[in-house]
């Protein structure tokens, strides 16, 4: 089987959202935190696909942002669902919801699932203001996700190290109670889970992560390339998903990191696409 390279962490915005950046930044805290600066890149679907072609990426998961208002979540989701309809061989859609409004969030999960979404994300509990660790509050939304076999992808960040725009405070101690409470939910923790995979050296943590995956988005900003080997050894190479955070970073930069550490061919192929194909059912 030929290697299919799948970028599990990218973002797109509608032409209107790109054109009216300042308006959307004024309306939403998450968008403002990430994109209020003019130098922060925004891609439409067509621009993302052009970048994919330049880097040799076959398919990309396009993620929403953890927007605060339900209305803006719907607007973002409309564009994502339209993109995957127009480019079904290139783009896979993840939508976003506001869990604080449980009834509307569940209806939006159902709408997006019926329209072809494969998951929800990139969620931002800290900016959206919901408690990921409160199992009682999250249960209804998680039940809807599992009913439609959707993946839950959340932003995570490191409890130590340098500050950067969008880092936030969704740390290992935030996400661990969530995965323990919902062991059957398929969860992807962005940005290497904020370091959570290193705790897989603890047997109970390793067991709790049976349905947990880690994407590699923004690795050059966070870790030395050796992380690909270390996490593969500690948590298992089956749990690592190649992700770039395009357009923040070109996929080529992460691919170069992967190739620089001399992974065995089977592990390299799993990270670049094999694990994603299995998780997404491609």
Nearest CA to 45 among 8, 18, 6?
18
Is this prediction's pTM over 0.85?
A: yes
Question: Would you tell me how many other CB atoms lie within 10 Å of the CB of residue 129?
Answer: 13
- pLDDT score for 38: 83
For residue 269, the tally of other CB atoms under 10 A from its CB is: 17
| 172: CB partners within 8 A, 6+ apart | 156, 159, 193, 194, 195, 196, 199
Instruction: Spell out the long-range contacts of 258-266 with Cβ–Cβ below 8 A and sequence spacing 24 or more.
Output: 258/225, 258/228, 260/225, 261/225, 261/226, 261/228, 261/229, 263/228, 263/229, 263/232
Question: Cα(39)–Cα(244) distance, rounded to whole angstroms?
Answer: 18
Residues 97-121 pLDDT 10s: 999 999 999 999 999 999 999 999 9
Q: Can you give the pLDDT at residue 58?
A: 98
Tell me the two tokens of residue 272: 């670049």
Residue 2's pLDDT band, with cuts at 50, 70 and 90, is confident
Q: What is the pLDDT of residues 155-173, one digit of tens each?
A: 999 999 999 888 999 999 9
pLDDT tens profile 61-75: 999 999 999 999 999
List the domains of the chain with CATH numbers.
6-280 (3.20.20.140)
């Amino acid at each position: 089987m030929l290697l299919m390279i799948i970028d599990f962490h990218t973002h797109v915005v509608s032409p209107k959202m790109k054109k009216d950046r300042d308006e959307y930044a004024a309306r939403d805290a998450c968008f403002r935190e990430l994109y209020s600066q003019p130098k922060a890149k925004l891609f439409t679907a067509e621009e993302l696909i052009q970048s994919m072609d330049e880097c040799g990426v076959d398919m990309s998961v396009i993620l929403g942002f953890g927007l605060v208002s339900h209305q803006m979540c719907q607007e973002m989701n409309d564009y994502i669902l339209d993109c995957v309809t127009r480019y079904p061989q290139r783009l896979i859609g993840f939508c976003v919801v506001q869990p604080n409004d449980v009834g509307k969030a569940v209806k939006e999960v159902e709408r997006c699932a019926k329209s072809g979404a494969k998951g929800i994300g990139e969620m931002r509990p800290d900016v959206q203001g919901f408690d990921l660790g409160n199992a009682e509050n999250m249960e209804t939304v998680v039940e809807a996700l599992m009913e439609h076999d959707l993946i839950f992808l959340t932003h995570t960040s490191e409890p130590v190290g340098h500050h950067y725009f969008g880092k936030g405070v969704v740390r290992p101690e935030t996400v661990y109670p969530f995965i323990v409470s919902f062991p059957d939910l398929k969860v992807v923790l962005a940005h290497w889970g904020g370091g959570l995979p290193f705790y897989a050296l603890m047997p109970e943590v390793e067991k709790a992560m049976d349905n947990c995956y880690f994407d590699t988005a923004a690795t050059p900003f966070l870790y030395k390339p050796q992380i690909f080997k270390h996490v593969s050894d500690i948590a298992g190479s089956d749990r690592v998903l190649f992700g770039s955070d395009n357009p923040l970073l070109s996929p080529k930069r992460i691919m170069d990191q992967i190739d620089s550490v001399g992974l065995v061919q089977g592990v390299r192929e799993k990270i670049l696409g094999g694990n994603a194909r299995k998780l997404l059912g491609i």
